[in-house]
Amino acid sequence: MINLIDTIQQNFENTTNKYFVEIEFNEDVLGGVPRTRELMAKFIESRLNREAKAAEKKGIAPPSEERKQELLTRHLDRLFSDTVDETIEAESERNHTTFFQDEHGPWIGEYQVKAMIREMMSCLGITMNKRGSKQTFQHLLTVRACDEEGNIVEGDQGLRLHFLRDGKVVSEVDGYVDKTAHLMTAQGPRSALKRHDKVVKASLRFALIVPAGLPKNRSTAILRDEEISKIFTHAQNDGLGCSRSQGHGSFKITRLERITDNPWVVAAA
């Protein structure tokens, strides 16, 4: 019997390239996560159902109802406690959105950065011009929280991008902004007041890991320095968080460095 466990990490390091990315928000970034447990449950349940249907269309076995409930419970426990459930006034919080929070402070999920990258790849025509890049992004591109040297944070904390200010983790939100939303319903036009928690003048840092060492017949699927630079150049104005179309969440890139130098393409065996 041959133990291959020790080769897995080495293979990963030899077949990926890693970028260190640091962004600084121009003004504020708004949270888009429903604040009440009830609304949060509906939000997550709806997303899980969409993902299950998409998986089913691709021939992938969707998660069972038990698994969906388990994921739902984990998300809710991450954001709420019983005391919050008992003390928050449901009506006043109904249209109030916030960030995920843990013992360190508010954070956004790495999936939001991946969604931003996906949008840029589509808008810039990268997925059309580089055959196979869409599948490569979907399955092989990774975003993780990291330290100042680019070392990846392990475990669940690696999926949480905490806000930084003056070199320290932001421990709480910086207040909120109120906005009026105009909706068209079956009963006609309606207006609603929406409140979003905000974090001001903060930064995020993360590692972006992309595949390398692909065979020549897959060379068009690789995201190289040129594409990475274009993606983040235009992502600055697209922004992160809620209400991006109204100017919130825009940022500037303060660091973008490739910190590994593995060959992008390898000769066929």
Q: Report whether 175 contacts 168 (CB < 8 A).
A: no
Cα separation of 257 and 117, whole Å? 16
The reported pLDDT for the residue numbered 82 is 46
In a domain, 146, yes or no: yes
Contacts of 158 (CB under 8 A, 6+ apart): 110, 144, 145, 152
In a domain, 268, yes or no: no
Residues 217 and 256 in one domain: yes
pLDDT of residue 207: 98
Q: From its phi and psi, is residue 266 left (phi > 0), alpha (psi between -120 and 50) or beta? A: beta
Higher pLDDT, 45 or 25: 25
38 band by pLDDT with thresholds 50, 70 and 90: low
Residue 9 included in any domain: no
Q: Which residue has the higher pLDDT, 13 or 22?
A: 22
**Same domain for 63 and 196?**
no
Same domain, 193 and 248: yes
In a domain, 175, yes or no: yes
Nearest to 242 by CA among 34, 101, 21, 24: 34
Q: Which residue has the higher pLDDT, 240 or 86?
A: 240
pLDDT at 19 over 50: yes
Residue 91: its pLDDT value, please? 42
Asked whether residue 138 is domain-assigned, the answer is yes
Model pLDDT, residue 76:
63
Is 206 found in the same domain as 174? yes
Are residue 193 and residue 81 in the same domain, yes or no? no
Number of domains composing the chain? 2
Tell me, yes or no, whether 80 and 28 share the same domain. no
Asked whether the beta carbons of 197 and 105 are under 8 A apart, the reply is: no
Residues 78 and 181 in one domain: no
Is residue 115 located within the same domain as residue 243? yes
Please check whether residues 122 and 20 belong to one and the same domain: yes
Specify whether 158 is located in the same domain as 217.
yes
DSSP state for residue 212 in the 8-state scheme: -
Burial class for 29, CB neighbours closer than 10 Å (0-12, 13-18, 19+): buried
- Give the alpha-carbon dihedral of 259, 264, 267, 269, to 10 degrees: 70
57 in a structural domain: yes
Q: For residues 236 and 200, state if they share a domain.
A: yes
Q: Each residue of 240-262: pLDDT tens digit?
A: 998 898 889 999 999 999 999 99
Which is more confident, 158 or 55?
A: 158
What is the pLDDT at residue 51?
Answer: 72
Q: pLDDT tens, 207-228?
A: 999 999 888 888 888 899 999 9
Same domain as 241, residue 171: yes
Strands (DSSP E) contained in 42-133 are: 96-98, 100-101, 106-109
Residue 259 confidence (pLDDT): 96
At residue 237, does pLDDT exceed 50? yes
The rounded distance, in Å, linking the Cα atoms of 184 and 190 is 6
pLDDT at 200 over 90: yes
| Helices and strands (H and E) in the chain: how many | 9, 16
Find the range with the poorest average confidence among 83-92, 106-115, 123-132, 158-167.
Answer: 83-92
Asked if pLDDT for residue 32 goes beyond 70, the answer is yes
Place of tokens 């809620």: 242
* Three-class secondary structure of residue 105 per DSSP: coil
pLDDT for position 84: 45
* Residue-level pLDDT at 183: 58
| Secondary structure letter of residue 146 according to DSSP | B
- How far does Cα 58 stand from its chain's mean position? 23
pLDDT > 90: what percent of the chain?
Answer: 50
- Report yes or no on 190 lying in a domain: yes
pLDDT value at position 187?
A: 61
pLDDT at site 66: 79
Structural domain including 67 reads: 37-87
pLDDT of residue 37: 63
In a domain, 172, yes or no: yes
The rounded distance, in Å, linking the Cα atoms of 140 and 60 is 18
Mean pLDDT of 116-129: 93
Phi and psi torsions of 223, nearest 5°: -95, 110
pLDDT at 190 over 90: no
